[in-house]
Structure 1
């Protein structure tokens, strides 16, 4: 069995962090896109109309 040196462990940790960073970036882009779409004037108007016409019990 190969013994892990501190350099090997560091490289492995860097690879894990890079993967997590890419994942987080993809999630952030999706959230930004979703927020941008919800703030478009047509969607704001649609949301306002839906909330005014909804029946509350």
Structure 2
């Protein structure tokens, strides 16, 4: 699981950083934070499903 997390972070950083600059420039600091908060809230059900879903025993 740690390897999967590290791989995701390693791939997300080079993609997210170039996209975030123009986005924050267009929306401003407050708009960028509000967009980030909204996206985080939209992802909560998926995280909850993953955390609270049925457990598989290996």
Q: TM-score under structure 2 normalisation? A: 0.42
Hey, which of these two has a bigger chunk of helix by percent?
Answer: 2
Higher relative contact order (CA 8 A, sep 6+): 2
User: Looking at CA atoms only, which structure, 1 or 2, has the larger radius of gyration?
Assistant: 1
